[in-house]
């Protein structure tokens, strides 16, 4: 089975310029994801999709393939997953005659995902041939029943709870358990992209991860949290 890791790394981050190659404890952020993917016993290829020659060079230094550069028009903040999936699959199929069976999407902003988790997620997809995709999730710490919108200056519940209008007053353990996707491990079959024109399809397998593996770096404060986490892990190991 052809299993390909696809790491999207555009250059246009606004909150943290060149976020994907910003040093995190002395190593470019993207390097953590490349290393985790290359250590997988199931992934055959690790490919970075980027619009930046600088990011491409760094990705290659850490062992990833960068067989093409992504066009700028599909590398904006508004670009969709489907656009860069299509571009990567088209280039690989036309240029090499290569088409993966399974694509493992790994965003560089999740440096704490473990290789063991990646392999476990892939095995879960293989064990469920009926599924279209898998999405990693974590238990939601901010429950949607506690969320509000402001309408005409007054609070309105974000979630319509019907007759149970007092759900926002309940303790968390009394509310239904809900999950949020964590941007760590998304897996999709190439057939789902090509035939259903979707990066999720209709049958989606959940993959629950813990808070640490779910850390997603999007702003300077996230970088500080990640650096602290790495240093604490090193201290525990006695490094």
How does pLDDT run across 50-79, given as a tens digit for each residue? 999 999 999 999 999 999 999 999 999 899
3-state secondary structure 148-183: EEEECCEEEECCCCCCCCCHHHCCHHHCCCCEEEEE
pLDDT tier, 205 (very low <50, low <70, confident <90, very high otherwise): very high
Average pLDDT of the segment spanning 170-195: 94
Give Cβ neighbours of residue 222 (< 8 Å, ≥ 6 apart): 215, 216
Q: How many angstroms separate the CA atoms of 109 and 225, rounded?
A: 13
Q: Where in the chain is the domain with CATH 3.90.550.10?
A: 3-139+179-237
Q: How many angstroms separate the CA atoms of 145 and 175, rounded?
A: 8
- Provide the 3-class DSSP secondary structure of residue 187: strand
Domain 3-139+179-237 has CATH 3.90.79.10: no
Q: How many angstroms separate the CA atoms of 75 and 98, rounded?
A: 23
**Interaxial angle between packed helices 29-38 and 115-126, expressed in degrees from 0 to 180 and rounded to the nearest 10:** 50
Q: How many angstroms separate the CA atoms of 184 and 137, rounded?
A: 8
Give Cβ neighbours of residue 217 (< 8 Å, ≥ 6 apart): 16, 19, 24, 29, 109, 110, 111, 223, 226
Q: How many angstroms separate the CA atoms of 124 and 234, rounded?
A: 31
Mean confidence (pLDDT) of the chain: 94
How does pLDDT run across 84-132, given as a tens digit for each residue? 999 999 999 999 999 999 999 999 999 999 999 999 999 999 999 999 9
pLDDT tier, 164 (very low <50, low <70, confident <90, very high otherwise): low
């Amino acid at each position: 089975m052809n299993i390909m890791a696809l790491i999207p790394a555009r250059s246009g981050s606004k909150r943290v310029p060149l976020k994907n190659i910003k040093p995190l404890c002395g190593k470019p952020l993207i390097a953590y994801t490349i290393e985790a993917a290359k250590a997988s016993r199931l992934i055959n290829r690790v490919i970075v999709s980027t619009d930046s020659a600088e990011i491409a060079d760094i990705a290659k230094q850490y062992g990833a393939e960068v067989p093409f550069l992504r066009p700028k028009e599909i590398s904006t903040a508004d670009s969709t997953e489907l656009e860069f999936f299509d571009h990567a699959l088209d280039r690989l199929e036309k240029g090499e005659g290569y088409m993966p069976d399974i694509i493992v999407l790994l965003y560089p902003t999740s440096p704490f995902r473990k290789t063991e988790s990646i392999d476990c997620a892939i095995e879960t997809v293989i064990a469920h041939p009926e599924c279209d995709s898998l999405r990693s999730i974590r238990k939601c710490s901010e429950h949607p029943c506690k969320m509000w919108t402001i309408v005409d200056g007054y609070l309105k519940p974000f979630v319509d709870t019907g007759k149970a209008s007092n759900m926002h007053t309940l303790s968390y353990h009394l509310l239904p358990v809900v999950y949020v996707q964590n941007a760590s491990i998304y897996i999709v079959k190439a057939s789902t992209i090509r035939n259903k024109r979707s990066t999720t399809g209709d049958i989606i397998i959940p993959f629950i991860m813990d808070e640490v593996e779910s850390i997603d770096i999007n702003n300077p404060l996230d970088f500080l949290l990640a650096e602290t986490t790495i240093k604490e892990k090193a201290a525990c190991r006695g490094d």
